[in-house]
């Protein structure tokens, strides 16, 4: 079964609001990656976190990796219509393979 | 070509038929992967290859086979398609080290009737 759990499955956001999606693994990860898939498109790499407690920012997106390297989060501030899509976390356990979460599908109300 | 390509874009297939999904990359990446994407389940790894000449099973390998005769190509074969294999299939590649991002192809939408 899926070893990386991601919540929520759906997120309906008013434009300008913030939201967070969470990712939890049953095992310790060597790194975690985040991908974005626009409707009808393919997943596109956003970022990779490697170190325990690591925090990285990309403009309005903030990514965190937990101290135990089992959880991660993506926080988006001031949501825009360009943020629409599905965000996936993907954990890697040191075997070159990724285990993807089910994704959070984001819709934005203008 | 630039990046990773897949063919066909979409296909409707009768159950029991054999089908090969094609994937080609021109980035000289060592590792290649096949995923299927189903609503609510995210991306699940079917098979992978860390380098030309080697392949391995992923999370959901049953009913699928792959080969990696060279660096660029990684075809996925359904020997006898069943309706539960209706899905969107993505091929991906990466540089092969543990910390490399994966690059995804545009996907193949397969419907098995």
pLDDT tens per residue across span B53-77: 999 999 999 999 999 999 999 999 9
User: Which of the 8 DSSP states describes residue A82?
Assistant: G
Instruction: Tell me which chain B residue has its CA closest to the CA of residue A7.
Output: B40
Residue A62 contacts B, CB cutoff 8 Å: no
Whether A30 sits inside 8 A of B45 (CB atoms) is no
Tokens, residue A97: 């393979």
Q: Is A101 on the interface with B (CB under 8 A)?
A: yes
Percent of chain A with pLDDT strictly greater than 70 = 98
* pLDDT tens-digit series, residues B13-59: 999 999 999 999 999 999 999 999 998 889 999 999 999 999 999 99
Which of chain B's residues have a Cβ under 8 Å away from the Cβ of A96? Answer: 31, 48, 50, 94, 96-98
Q: Which residue of B has its CA nearest to A42?
A: B106
Inter-residue long-range contacts of B54-60, CB under 8 Å, 24+ positions, other chains counted = B58/A97, B58/B33, B58/B34, B59/A99, B60/B36
């Amino acid at each position: 079964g899926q070893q990386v759990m991601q919540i929520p499955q759906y997120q309906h956001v008013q434009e300008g609001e913030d939201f967070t999606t969470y990712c939890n693994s049953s095992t310790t990860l060597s790194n975690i990656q985040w991908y974005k898939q626009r409707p009808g498109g393919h997943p596109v790499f956003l970022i990779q976190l490697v170190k325990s407690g690591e925090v990285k920012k990309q403009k309005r997106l903030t990514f965190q990796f937990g101290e135990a390297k089992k959880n991660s989060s993506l926080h988006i501030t001031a949501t825009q219509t360009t943020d629409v899509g599905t965000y996936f976390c993907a954990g890697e356990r040191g075997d070159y393979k990724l285990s993807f979460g089910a994704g959070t599908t984001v819709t934005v109300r203008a | 070509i630039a990046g990773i390509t897949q063919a066909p874009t979409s296909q409707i297939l009768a159950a029991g038929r054999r089908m090969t999904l094609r994937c080609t990359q021109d980035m000289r990446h060592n590792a290649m992967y096949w995923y299927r994407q189903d609503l609510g389940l995210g991306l699940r790894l079917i098979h992978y290859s860390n380098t030309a000449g080697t392949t391995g099973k992923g999370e959901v390998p049953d009913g699928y086979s792959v080969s990696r005769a060279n660096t660029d190509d990684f075809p996925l074969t359904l020997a006898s398609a069943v309706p539960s294999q209706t899905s969107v299939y993505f091929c991906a590649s990466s540089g092969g080290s543990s910390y490399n991002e994966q690059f995804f192809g545009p996907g193949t939408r397969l419907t098995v009737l």
